[in-house]
Structure 1
Amino acid sequence: MIIGQEFCSLHQGTGMLTLDLRDLYGFEGGLVRIAPWHDRLLVERMDKHGWVQDDTALDYPLITEATETLPKGHPMRRFCEGLPAWASDTARPFRINQLRLLRILSVDPKAQELAVNAPIVFWLLAECLGDQASTEDILGLTRCRRRDILGKALGDSSNSLLNFLCKLDKFSYELTDLERLRLLVAGKAWVGLRHMGRLNWQVLKLFLKQDDWLDYSGVRRLLHVPQGAVALERFNQWKRVAGDIQRIAAVLQLQPLTERLKQVRDHAQLRRLHDTLTARLNRQRALEIEGRFQKPFPLAPLPGDQVIQPITNVSDLLDEGTAMHHCVASYIDLIFEGKSFIYKVLAPERATLQIVRLPDGKLRVGQLKLACNAETSQETVNQVSNWFNTVYKPSQTSNNQPFY
């Protein structure tokens, strides 16, 4: 937090930092003062009766890089420089409740040991105190066992939860962390994770937004991925393939495979299940489909060439699905309805291309996939782009849309 000098002042005699945020907040509670370290960092706000203690009146991190780069004479920087270096270093990682944690350290310096060895438990100390905590309240709390602190803050004082929290990496101590942690504990989702090793909290937070995905063994394994963006990409791939599996199962008139999917341990096993069902779809329904659709597909709207060739009948579509290990056969109804058209791409990579006709008649590229629904190279995308923009003439629709 950076506050202009016009909004704060440091009293030379008492060492109190006063913040006048009434113009920003628009109410009297915006006048706040903080006592110096030797007075236990007591936070008070002004109300109609005078100064009253309110530990929640100011919840902005004081120990930040931004504060340290303020001009030397800035009251906030001078106030923070009056704090012991060890206390500032201890409180620095905590983005919310930082001032309350500093107050705890000023009352009981031994709490630093908890901050070092069980930082999440230390962080939760602030959630166990009211808005007018006394020195006795703080000392009584810091002398509690760690699991009893968890019981006060999260409603669960089990050793299992304590051990689980100690395995969380990349915890950022933001407000969203507190919200997600409460959700995790209240929903008991952590119980299924307690026997796993170190867990990336930033990835776990992403999964907590999704419905029941932590019930899936293969998804839980992604909690070990160190990069959150990589884990999210793999998770989206997992959802996509799992969705295809459920759709193929429905076409085959099988029961939903949700419970089986929960037991799949990794993406390779998921892909094998997908390919097995796809092959079964192609084998089991080949005769049925060919007997049902004893006619060619509607004429493809775009002519092919030596590299990109339209698939014109059911038999060739089934062969494409078998050769490429995907479920393109499930698009038969859309093809006969004139809503989708399938093409073989022979170079620079072997791929399958979907052209989609929109309700207004415009044509757009749908999916472009390698075998097993893998992504194509940019060279293949460019090849298809050039073909599409060449053969798709503006006169074919009222408003031509170029590829991508």
Structure 2
Amino acid sequence: MHTDTVEFDLSQVLNYPITVRIKGWHSDQPLQWTSFNDDGLVAEGVFLEAPGLPLFTLGDDKGQRLCDAIPADINAICGLMPAMDFQLAQACAVSAAARQLASDAPLLFLLAVDYARQQPLSVDAFEQLLTFRRADILNAAGLRGSKSLARLVGRLKLSPMMPWELDDVRRALQQPDFLALLRHHPEVHLNHLRLLLRVRRPLWPGMLCLVNEYTQAADLTWTYRMIRDTLNLAGGNERVLAQVNSREDLQDQHDRFIERFNRQNHRNSEEKRLELAQELEEEHGEYPQPPIAPVEGIEPLTSWLELLEEGATMRHCVGSYDVAVAGGEVFIYRMISPERLTISLEHRNNAWVVGEVRASCNANPSPDTLERVRRWVNL
């Protein structure tokens, strides 16, 4: 056996006798793998085919890991998509040109590897692909093969992502309105694409200043909600966001509209709210049914009138959520005890998840109560 080979006995993991042998980075065929049992060869991997287990960072019986012998710059590329780390390392091992593309334009490299994996391409065919102009590699990967898009993709910074996000990236880079904004922004990042895909409309130049490479998923969701809520409070008037160039600007604009909305809603008599509720029913139809059964202390809102009254009582903007509620994107509950809270659930990936949980005037709930809400939703 080659001295630069790592062997994994997976018999105890899989409950049947199987061993995977993988050639190391400095071997004549980096990351080529075979699996075998007592009877001999079981399977032999081909180019851009992983063994099917997270062996890239797994240690063998001697504590050796495949990634330990791989150069740091290639490990960094593999870390951009941990679910495909093995294939990305295989692709980097093909040639100096592959490693150079991975360093110069990580996103283009990921798109090229994903394309090669789906075809699938042989090692020779992948090497041939790498000889193409970068615009032509984009074209092969399903995007417009233009020099300007190649330049944009080349300077777009990445953070760790899932393989399915490459489809989102392709969709974003096929939108002319998105590209018009991105081309003029000095530092473009994957988070900008994520925000654009969440918001879609409206688009304005300062929008890209709301996120950066350090923005976490929770902050991205907060930004999307603030844009959505501000637009709802403004009656869909997109111009109110035109001068928003920072998260602070967005918060200030949002708070101004909340204050105005709550003043108006609080002053409205019960008779006036009944009229508004009737208008909402005429616009949206009957109030939706609750998606999750209530429990003690938590109950669903059951009418457009209750939605308006919840906003007036709690002095926040939930009364403006009629479009999202009618569209099945959001459903509102109220907690009566142990705290008085408004709970919004959001429909994502065919499941209902906790969106926002707010006390009066958008105050935060206690950690214990928030955990109780999450347990209820996850029952």
What is the TM-score of this pair, normalised by structure 2?
0.57
What letter matches 1:172 in structure 2?
P
Mapped pair 1:41 → 2:31: yes
Which residues in structure 2 correspond to 1:269-308 (within 5 Å)? none
Which residues in structure 2 correspond to 1:61-210 (within 5 Å)? 63-64=56-57, 67=58, 70=59, 73-74=62-63, 77=65, 79-81=66-68, 83-85=69-71, 89=75, 91-94=77-80, 95-130=82-117, 133-188=121-176, 190-192=178-180, 193-202=182-191, 204-208=193-197, 210=198
What letter matches 1:153 in structure 2?
A
Relative to 1, partners in 2 of residues 1:24 and 1:13: Cα closer, same or farther, differing over 3 Å?
Answer: same
Give the equivalent residue in structure 2 for 1:236.
225
Which residues in structure 2 correspond to 1:273-352 (within 5 Å)? 325-331=260-266, 332-334=268-270, 340=309
Relative to 1, partners in 2 of residues 1:42 and 1:160: Cα closer, same or farther, differing over 3 Å?
Answer: same
2: CA distance, partners of 1:19 / 1:84:
18
User: Structure 1: which 5+ runs fail to align?
Assistant: 1-11, 247-255, 279-320, 345-350, 370-374, 383-404
2: CA distance, partners of 1:51 / 1:170:
34
What letter matches 1:118 in structure 2?
A
Give the equivalent residue in structure 1 for 2:352.
none
Aligned residues: 290
2: CA distance, partners of 1:206 / 1:127:
23
User: Structure 2: which 5+ runs fail to align?
Assistant: 275-304, 320-332, 343-358, 367-379
Relative to 1, partners in 2 of residues 1:272 and 1:342: Cα closer, same or farther, differing over 3 Å?
Answer: closer
Correspondence for 1:56 among 46, 49, 69 = 49
What letter matches 2:172 in structure 1?
L
Relative to 1, partners in 2 of residues 1:226 and 1:269: Cα closer, same or farther, differing over 3 Å?
Answer: closer
What letter matches 1:174 in structure 2?
M
Asked whether the 8 Å contact 2:195–2:220 carries over to 1, the reply is no
Asked whether the 8 Å contact 1:111–1:142 carries over to 2, the reply is yes
Asked whether the 8 Å contact 2:315–2:360 carries over to 1, the reply is yes
Asked whether the 8 Å contact 2:23–2:29 carries over to 1, the reply is yes
Relative to 1, partners in 2 of residues 1:200 and 1:109: Cα closer, same or farther, differing over 3 Å?
Answer: closer
What letter matches 1:140 in structure 2?
Q
Alpha-carbon RMSD: 4.9
1: CA distance, partners of 2:74 / 2:21:
19
Displacement, 1:108?
Answer: 0.8
Displacement, 1:40?
Answer: 3.7
